[in-house]
Structure 1
Amino acid sequence: MSRLERIVRYPVKGLRGQPLDGARLEDARGLAYDRALAIETGSAPEADGWAARETFYHLARDTQLIRYAARVDETADGPTAVLEPPDAEPISVRLAESYREGDLAAASARVAEMLPGGRLRPPRLTMPGVALWDWPHATLSLINLDTIDELSERAGRDLDPRRFRANLYVSGLGAWAELGLVGRRIRIGDVLLEVIQPTDRCRATTVDPRTGDTELNLPALLAGRLGHMFCGVYVRVVGAGRVEVGSPVSVESTTGVRPAAAERRWPRRAYVAATVRESDEVTSFWLRDPLGFAADALPGQHLRIHPEGDPSSPLWRCYTISAVEGDAYRISVKRDGAVSSLLHDGVAEDETLIVSGPFGEVTLDDDSLPVLLVSAGIGLTPTVAMLRSLGASEREVRVVHVDRGEPPAGLWREVESALDRLPRGSAVRYDTTVGRPGPDAIAGVVREFSAEPLAYVCGPAGFYDDVRDALLGAGLDAASIRHEVFFSPSTAERTEPKPPPRPGPFSVRFAASDDADSYGSWDAERGSLLDVGESLGLPMPSGCRAGVCGSCALRVPEGSTAYVTDPSVPAPDGTVLLCSAVPTSDVTIDLAR
């Protein structure tokens, strides 16, 4: 039996919540008084209606907020919000319109004594008349307690579900079942809810609600062990009613509708429509995507697969999409390691797999240039996808494939069939037990083209290095050689930063495209480069604040930096993750992306 275990509202954004026994939920609204108030930092213009969380004090940046509580009481003067600062008298704000303005002013004066203000003005308590959720239309957040139990196993400790600051906590669904509910409807008590998106997790989850410690990097744990940063879902009310602790939870719709704001990075449960044995070592899996992103996949892109298994080790990998048909993708997996063995032995037709994507920038260009496709082993999969997409194109196409013995029979037949449709296509295959192509052989293939080709190379790192050197030696420009590198984030779970290599002070220049540069100063007490930018009131891009999501990656064209928290995911070439970095000299940050 799935049931509702806990209801919590958060009257003041970022502060501790207020448990409820039950609540009335209205269409398109959340819990009454949830995120009704917030504390503006004074570093941005005053909010008029809904505003992004950077406008306000929030737990991802301001971890001291975990020491503050808030509740709404029903009093003789109507509803009253009560803030409970640590070691200070409570602060009351009567929410009835006749009292509100004066009470907010008095409360803001108290808040200004406790919290530092921004460059524009002191902090102030505000109630703009709309709920200040992190997403403007995400009215309620829901956490699956079965997922938290499984995540606790991965963390090696019991995780307090309050870390995730949900409104509704449910049990009995099964771990990660909520990822299969996006676009579908569920019923809790009398209320009908639509699941609109999974919840992307940030640094707020590192804060232990019992102690305020930030000893566990939850975003890094999610990214390293699971390959994504989502836990829980957002829902909205589409059928009003009442919920109580203990209310039953049921799934009302068996199929979903793709939300308008759906993103391909969202993890979701894809249906295994078919499995095909391509060879003794390679099996293909046809997956139907519930969010319909298969039709958008480009030849050369890949899926990230997140199978469920041993919680003590990372279990996710990237697999190139070898074919797309309608709403289905195909991945062709060689048995080579824990994840591929799990797929071969533990995944059958009519089951589901958690997937995300498609990802990847190295895709077949849609133009008339000749194409050289060079692959080794299971690196044949992007070659198959690209050949399928070419159809009967007039482009010159050459395939060079290297394998230990025979390539996967089914996939190679597709290569031959695709080349038959290409009037200017041909292939050469090498068996590495006999010999592999050297620089002269690669140069000979390049000379067959009437113009310089685009070369797509897929195979192990050493193979790519050898082929790239041969292509450069044959006269190809480096920009004409394409290769995608799959990476696996580290499993780092701690957030204790290293001491900065140099104490400073250093000047930090934030260069804007409109020449309206901003200048700040950093020393060992100022935190990260991201903290410096935010202290200046700049609209700094950020997400997890834990070196995982890559949102804060910006160029540093002048000066040097160092990481005091090792990123879990490498920053794009030429950029630095500001949330984890400090300067080691005077620096310039390029705000233009």
Structure 2
Amino acid sequence: MTAEVTQIWRHPLKSHGREALEDVSVSAGQTMPGDRVWAVAHEASSADGSQWVSWANFTRGAKAPRLMAINSAYDEAAGLLTLTHPDRPDLTFNPDDPADHPRFLEWEKPLLPENRAGSSHIVRVPGRGMTDTEFPSISLANWASHRAVEHAIGHELSAKRWRSNIWFDLGEAWVENTWLGREVQIGETVLAVRERAVRCLATAASPETGERDADTLKTLNDNWGHQDFSVYAEVVRGGRIRLGDKVQVL
């Protein structure tokens, strides 16, 4: 079964926005460049930037749904990240500069619920992105599965709520869930599919408003007996991925 890449997304600051790309070059054993480079640790977190730690250490959309309405633009040459939100002024800052972090924390604070641990600091782990998997992963998503969720829930949904990296249309829902243990060629690259992505409450929030507007987890569980959407893969042969590239299971 073959398909074509229709969208490529990266999320420079974990749970704080997304950015569409036309192409990306990936390397074996690495996360997508510019994806989850940084994460925002909360006050109860043990994250210190020395190693990968799990999602529970970070401020994220599952606990703070308004974060889901953030968009981002990362200027790699300048090292600057711009965040936009319908309820906040635009913010441009350097996530690698601790002197810039207070401006970000002040900007983010109104988007966080008062009854949760507040954000504390930004962390970066050298050599990999802060993905939700212990291995450096890239997420692959199928439009047919998204349409199945839309049909079951009874209205349109923005696919940005899934925060997936590479999108394509296999024409049949959940085919991607059968890819575990197999390799997929996308453009010049080969990826090994290793895990299904178990979804959290962040997917219930609208990427346009940051308000919870869809019971995605109940819909998945009631209709398919799981709360998975998309699969996590690891790059085994690097290269360039472009919009329109073929996606083929090997």
Q: Same fold (TM over 0.5)?
A: yes
AA aligned opposite 1:83: L
1:318-346 deviations in whole A, cap 9, x for unaligned?
Answer: xxxxxxxxxxxxxxxxxxxxxxxxxxxxx
Please state how far the C-alpha of 1:69 moved relative to its aligned partner.
2.4
Picking from 57, 63, 68, the partner of 1:61 is: 63
- Write out aligned runs for 1:365-384 (5 A): none
Pair 15,120 (structure 1): closer, same or farther in 2 beyond 3 Å: closer
- d(CA) in 2 for partners of 1:3, 1:83: 30
Deviations 1:388-428 (A, max 9, x none): xxxxxxxxxxxxxxxxxxxxxxxxxxxxxxxxxxxxxxxxx
Does the CA contact (< 8 Å) of 2:42 and 2:119 recur in 1?
yes
Does structure 1 conserve the Cα–Cα contact (< 8 Å) formed by 2:16 and 2:68?
yes
- The aligned residue for residue 331 of structure 1 is none
Letter aligned with residue 143 of structure 1: A
Larger radius of gyration: 1
Question: Among the aligned pairs, what percent are the same residue?
Answer: 23
Partner of 1:84: 84
Shift of 1:122: 5.6
CA shift, 1:195, in A, is: 0.4
Give, in whole Å, the separation in 2 of the partners of 1:101 and 1:21. 31
CA contact (8 A) 2:67 2:111 kept: no
> 1:21 & 1:72 partners in 2: Cα distance?
14
Is the Cα contact below 8 Å between 2:47 and 2:53 reproduced in 1?
A: no
Measure, in 2, the Cα distance between the counterparts of 1:112 and 1:213: 16
Which residue is 1:168 aligned to? 166
Instruction: State yes or no: 1:137 paired with 2:135.
Output: yes
Task: Provide the C-alpha distance between the structure 1 equivalents of 2:90 and 2:3, rounded to a whole number of angstroms.
Answer: 41
Distance 1:50 1:11 in 2: 16
Q: Using the alignment, how far apart are the partners of 1:178 and 1:135 within structure 2?
A: 18
Aligned to 1:127: 124
Q: What is the CA RMSD across the aligned residues, in angstroms? A: 2.4
Letter of the 1:103 partner, please give it.
D
What CA deviation, in whole Å up to 9, does each residue of 1:444-503 have, x standing for no partner?
xxxxxxxxxxxxxxxxxxxxxxxxxxxxxxxxxxxxxxxxxxxxxxxxxxxxxxxxxxxx
| 1:14 lines up with 2:15 in the alignment | yes
Q: TM-score, normalised by structure 1?
A: 0.39
After superposition, residues 351-390 of structure 1 pair within 5 angstroms as none
Query: Which residues in structure 2 correspond to 1:421-436 (within 5 Å)?
Result: none
Q: Does 1:147 align with 2:145?
A: yes
SS at match of 1:186: strand
Amino acid at match of 1:193: L
**What is the identity, as a one-letter code, of the residue corresponding to 2:221?**
A
1:234 aligns with 2:232: yes
Q: Determine if contact 2:62/2:200 at 8 Å carries over to the other structure.
A: yes
Which structure 2 segments of 5+ residues have no match?
A: none
> Number of matched residues?
246
Q: Give how far 1:93 is off.
A: 0.6
Whole-Å separation in 1 of the counterparts to 2:47 and 2:237: 34
Partner residue of 1:218? 216
Structure 2 partner of 1:391? none
Is 1:205 matched up with 2:206?
Answer: no
CA contact (8 A) 2:13 2:38 kept: yes
Tell me, yes or no, if the aligned pair for 1:44 and 1:120 is still in contact at 8 Å: no
Larger RCO of the pair (alpha carbons < 8 Å, separation 6+): 2
Shift of the alpha carbon at 1:124? 2.4
CA distance in 2, matches of 1:186, 1:150: 23
Give, as a single letter, the amino acid of the residue that structure 1 aligns with 2:125: P
The C-alpha deviation readout for 1:480-537, integer Å capped at 9, x for no partner, is xxxxxxxxxxxxxxxxxxxxxxxxxxxxxxxxxxxxxxxxxxxxxxxxxxxxxxxxxx
Amino acid at match of 1:219: L
Give the Cα separation in 2 of the matches to 1:139 and 1:54.
Answer: 17
Given that 1:108 and 1:125 are in contact with CA atoms closer than 8 Å, whether structure 2 keeps it comes out as no
Contact persistence 2:62–2:201 (CA under 8 A): yes
Mapped to 2, the partners of 1:121 and 1:233 lie a distance apart of 30
Q: For the residues of structure 2 that align with 1:119 and 1:196, how far apart are their CA atoms?
A: 33
Instruction: Within 5 Å, give how 1:325-364 maps onto structure 2.
Output: none
**For 1:257-304, what per-residue CA distance to the aligned partner results, in whole angstroms no more than 9, with x for missing partners?**
xxxxxxxxxxxxxxxxxxxxxxxxxxxxxxxxxxxxxxxxxxxxxxxx
TM-superposed CA distance for 1:84, in Å, is 2.7
Cα drift, residue 163 of structure 1: 1.6
CA distance in 2, matches of 1:79, 1:69: 17
1:27 is aligned to 2:28:
yes
Taking the aligned partners of 2:121 and 2:114, their CA distance within structure 1 comes to 9
Q: 1:12 to 1:115 in 2, by over 3 A?
A: same
Aligned in 2, Cα 1:157/1:119: closer, same or farther, shift over 3 Å?
closer
1:301-312 alignment to 2 at 5 Å? none
Contact conserved, 2:29 with 2:136, CA < 8 A, in 1?
Answer: no
